[in-house]
Amino acid sequence: MPPNSRINDNYLVEKATMLATADECGLVAQALLEFDSSESFIFGWLAFPESQHFYLDCQTRALLYAKPHIDVLQETLCAREGKSPHCMALRTAMGIPILLMGFAAYCRGEDPGVWESLARRHFDYLMVKAPRSIKTAAISSSEIDKWITADSLFLILPFMAWCGLWFNDFNAVDDAVYTRRTYMKELQFDAGGLLVNYTCSRCHAPEGPPCGCLRRPTSIGNSLALAGMVRLLGTLLRTIQIATEDQENEAKPRAPSAEEIARETEVSDLLSDIRQILSVLTRGDVIDEETGLIHSLLDDPTSPVDVAASALVAATIYNFFMLVSDWRAESHGRILRANVHYDAVMKWVDDDANGRQTGEPNFLVYCCILMMLGARRNPRLSEALEMSRST
């Protein structure tokens, strides 16, 4: 283990919660949930129903943190305050803690109705009232600018899919699948196999980029999109499992519906897209030789490093390994690459905690580190990590 593994977890939690503004609190709550229980939070009752009881043990810190920041008067769940007051995607991140508050209430034998109504209201807002991208009519990332950013795959899609399972409405899962496809169509893959988007919001105007900057593949955009697709994959696999069990219990066998076939196709497409992005994010040429961290612009080896992206790539590799069993045969090299990111990030944390870093990173850095540490603590990963370390 690297020497910085001695860093107190509370340091990271305090930094994430202190740096977040009101509109960022939903993402912080998600990071705390994933840190306390990676398996239950990301896959949990979605993919592993036997983990239901764990919510009663792990949800206290994150949900108590999130609760004061929920604005029941807002259709977008929390106050329009902070650095990005019009970023609808960022505030949608509060939806998952709200769903889990309802689930925790249900597990305790209480009425989850108030949490259900909040989640359903926001889901309806996304589907009916939310602004749409001019280019593809996908749900916009912003309330005022009709454009898409890659982080919407992480912030919006999992909430939509979780709503489908919680409300027992698989059409909502299908809506998430359709939304992912429209996002991918707008963001597009570049020749190197990465999602690209303009690097500043002024460039999303329909008449073109007024400031002349280019569409670039950013490490944080691709790592957030990757993490969101893995979460969607977990939900989709659980949806297919439920539908298969229901079909087996029916009196008369029937052919799969068009929706069921489409979900199977989406699983295949998701796996392909996830592997494509991973293949680039784990290449040696996108890693800074001195620090071991990933560059912020993946097509520019002179660009600054991105700690948040490095941590999130490692977390996503660990989570993908646990979710997709047939991926394990090809995973050894990926785990080794994830460990490279992990070691580099923890060296950064050690320097940060001991005053050897310059500047003040934003809350997202600490959220991604918490997600990475939560993923590594999962017992399903222990054997793979031990083997990779001994290689």
Q: Please provide the average confidence, as pLDDT, over all residues in the chain.
A: 79
Tell whether the model's pLDDT for residue 234 goes beyond 80: yes
Separation of alpha carbons 265 and 131, rounded Å = 28
Tell whether the model's pLDDT for residue 10 goes beyond 60: yes
Return all residues near 114 (Cβ < 8 A) that are at least 6 apart.
Answer: 102
The number of CA neighbours under 13 Å toward the Cβ of 266 is 27
- Decide if 197 contacts 149 (C-beta within 8 A): yes
**Which of 19-28, 199-208, 256-265, 294-303 is the least confident region?**
199-208
pLDDT tens-digit series, residues 22-76: 888 889 988 988 887 766 555 444 444 444 554 555 557 788 888 888 877 777 6
The number of CA neighbours under 13 Å toward the Cβ of 122 is 33
More confident residue, 3 or 351: 351
Please, what are the domains in the chain? 3-197+213-248+257-381 (1.50.10.10)
Separation of alpha carbons 131 and 141, rounded Å = 8
Q: To the nearest whole percent, how much of the chain has pLDDT over 90?
A: 13
Residue 40 DSSP label: I
Tell whether the model's pLDDT for residue 199 goes beyond 70: no
**Which of 31-35, 48-52, 131-135, 313-317 is the least confident region?**
48-52
pLDDT of residue 252: 72
Amino acid present at 120: R
Confidence (pTM): 0.87
pLDDT of residue 44: 46
Helices and strands, number each (H, E), in the chain: 18, 4
Rounded to 5°, angle at Cα 245 from 175 and 50: 90
Q: State mean pLDDT over 346-362.
A: 79
Confidence of residue 109 (pLDDT cuts 50, 70, 90): confident
Highest mean pLDDT among 2-11, 87-96, 171-180 belongs to: 171-180
Tokens 């593994």 locate to: 5
Confidence of residue 263 (pLDDT cuts 50, 70, 90): confident
Q: State mean pLDDT over 98-115.
A: 82
pLDDT of residue 227: 92
Confidence of residue 210 (pLDDT cuts 50, 70, 90): very low
Tell whether the model's pLDDT for residue 206 goes beyond 50: no
pLDDT of residue 71: 79
pLDDT of residue 191: 67
More confident residue, 111 or 356: 111
More confident residue, 378 or 303: 303
Separation of alpha carbons 372 and 31, rounded Å = 9
pLDDT of residue 3: 37
pLDDT of residue 356: 75
Q: State mean pLDDT over 339-345.
A: 91
Confidence of residue 236 (pLDDT cuts 50, 70, 90): confident
pLDDT of residue 307: 93
CA distances from 37 to 34, 86, 238, 330, 374 (A): 5, 31, 18, 25, 6
Q: To the nearest whole percent, how much of the chain has pLDDT over 70?
A: 78
pLDDT of residue 294: 93
pLDDT of residue 152: 87
Tokens of 122: 């926001």
Separation of alpha carbons 270 and 264, rounded Å = 10
More confident residue, 284 or 8: 284
pLDDT of residue 372: 92
More confident residue, 138 or 80: 138
Amino acid present at 190: D
pLDDT of residue 255: 76
CA quadruple 134, 137, 141, 144: dihedral positive or negative?
Answer: positive
Tell whether the model's pLDDT for residue 4 goes beyond 50: no
Q: What is the largest CA-CA distance in the chain?
A: 67
